[in-house]
Amino acid sequence: MPISFEHVGYVYSKGTPYEYQALKDVCLEIEEGKITAVIGQTGSGKSTLVQHLNALLLPESGEVHILDRVIKAGDKPKQLKSLRKEVGLVFQFPEYQLFEETVLKDVAFGPKNFGASEEEARKRAKQALKMVGLSEEYYERSPLELSGGQKRRVAIAGILAMDPQILVLDEPTAGLDPQGTEAMMKLFHALNHTYGKTILIVTHDMEQVFRYCDKVVVMEDGGVRIHTDKDTFFSDPDACRKMNILPPVLIRMKELLKANGFEVADDIITENALADCIARQVKKHG
């Protein structure tokens, strides 16, 4: 079991008037080799949760198991670097972490920190840039001159170049246009399918969860409210709404069709399948 949380609690600003319990007794197991979406309202503890995965935050109570390590509350873990190499964490708006003169140097920064030689780091940087779809012509350009979407790709490549087993992304598509969002999600899908990376995505975008993720974790008020398969999760749109989650448009369309006398099977999850289903019924009557 590569990642599990056992009764994890976390408190911000402990002992001050601003004390705030962000995680409460979280128990959670994340499956290897899957794309898991972490959703929930702002302030529900999503970001706090994922920052435990590479020990940027250490549990106040309980324990976190990541790969072959155990981080217990109260311990002062050593060798965090080796953990951070294996769990790549991409923050929200990661373009703000770029600082080197050239794209290639910036992407090579991570591997170098983890002890790769200059040559090895460059090689990995080139591979990572290729994965995110940035060609050679960008290598020597300043990362600060690129467009917003390109900058974000460079930042993500900077994490990929570390060759982590687990990739954690905090709202990776925030602020991108629909086209940029789509391309970004396709990238994560490929990283999962082609390179076998375990991926966790914190997001608010249900369309993306519906199309690209395997598992859904719903955080609420510092705890895990639901952890299930994506399809099971969206099969009950009313339950989604109760948690203030607007179901994806395809699910809403299915609901509307059912309410108007159409028969729509639960296992229809693509636009083409839905179009087939509608066409069949309309023609039958025609």
Partner 1 sequence: MGNITLGRYIPLDSPIHKMDPRAKIMAMLLVLVAIFFPAGWIGYAIIFAAASLTIILARLSFTFIWKAMKPMLFMLVFLFVINAFLLKTGDPLLTLGSFTLYSDAVFQTLYIAVRLLLMVMITTCLTATTKPLDMTLGIEDLLKPFQKIHVPAHEIAMLISIALRFIPDLIDETERIIKAQESRGVDLKEGKIMERIMAILSLIVPLFVSAFQRAEDLANAMEARGYAPGEQRTRYKVLKMEGRDYILLFCAAAILAGMVWLAYYR
Partner 2 sequence: MAIIEVKDLTFSYDETKTTIDHVSFAIEEGTYTTIVGHNGSGKSTIAKLLAGLLEKKSGSILIDGMELNLENLFRIRSRIGIVFQNPDNQFIGSTVRDDIAFGLENHCVPQPEMDGIIEVNAERVHMTKYLDHEPSHLSGGQKQRVAIAGVLAMKPKILIFDEATSMLDPSGKDEIKRVIRNIHKESSLTILSITHDIDEVAGSDHVIALENGKIAMQGTPHEVFSEVDALKKIKLDVPFSLKMQQKLAKRGVRVGKHITMEGLVKELCQSHSNM
- Asked whether position 229 contacts partner 2 by CB under 8 A, the answer is no
Residue of 203, 212, 246, 256 whose CA lies nearest to 231? 212
Give Cα separations from 84 to 16, 125, 159, 221, 233 (angstroms). 30, 17, 10, 27, 31
Nearer to partner 1, 121 or 251 (CB): 121
- Asked whether position 76 contacts partner 1 by CB under 8 A, the answer is no
Half-sphere exposure of 171 toward its Cβ, with a 13 Å CA cutoff? 12
Strands 215-220 and 35-39: parallel
Nearer to partner 1, 91 or 210 (CB): 91
Residue from 73, 226, 257, 264 in contact with partner 2 (CB under 8 A): 257
Q: In what helix (H) or strand (E) does residue 105 lie, and over which residues does it extend?
A: helix 103-113
Residue from 7, 81, 130, 241 in contact with partner 1 (CB under 8 A): 81
Binds 231, which of partner 2, partner 1, none (CB < 5 to 8 A, cut-off by type)? none
Helix axes 118-131, 148-160, angle to 10 degrees: 130
Residue from 20, 99, 195, 262 in contact with partner 1 (CB under 8 A): 99
- Asked whether position 56 contacts partner 1 by CB under 8 A, the answer is yes
Give Cα separations from 1 to 26, 124, 185, 230 (angstroms). 16, 28, 26, 20
Residue from 176, 190, 243, 264 in contact with partner 2 (CB under 8 A): 176
Tokens coding 159 = 């994490």
Give the interface segment with partner 1, choosing from 13-21, 179-187, 266-274, 278-286 (CB under 8 A).
13-21
Q: Nearest approach, Cβ of 249 to partner 2 (angstroms)?
A: 4
* Interacting residues with partner 2 between 126 and 155 (CB under 8 A): 147-149
Q: Nearest approach, Cβ of 124 to partner 1 (angstroms)?
A: 13
* Interacting residues with partner 2 between 5 and 44 (CB under 8 A): 41-42
Buried b or exposed e, range 166-183, using 16+ CB within 10 angstroms: bbbbbbbbeebeeebbbb
Contact call for residues 162 and 114 (beta carbons, < 8 A): yes
Contact call for residues 220 and 242 (beta carbons, < 8 A): no
Residue from 73, 174, 226, 243 in contact with partner 2 (CB under 8 A): 174
Q: Where do we find the tokens 């609420």?
A: 220
Which residues of the chain form contacts with partner 2 (CB under 8 A)? 41-42, 147-149, 174-180, 204, 244-246, 249-250, 252-253, 256-257, 260-262, 271-272, 274-276, 278-279, 281-283, 285-286
Which residues of the chain form contacts with partner 1 (CB under 8 A)? 13, 16, 18, 51, 54, 56, 81, 84-85, 88-91, 94, 96-99, 109-110, 113-114, 144, 158-159, 162
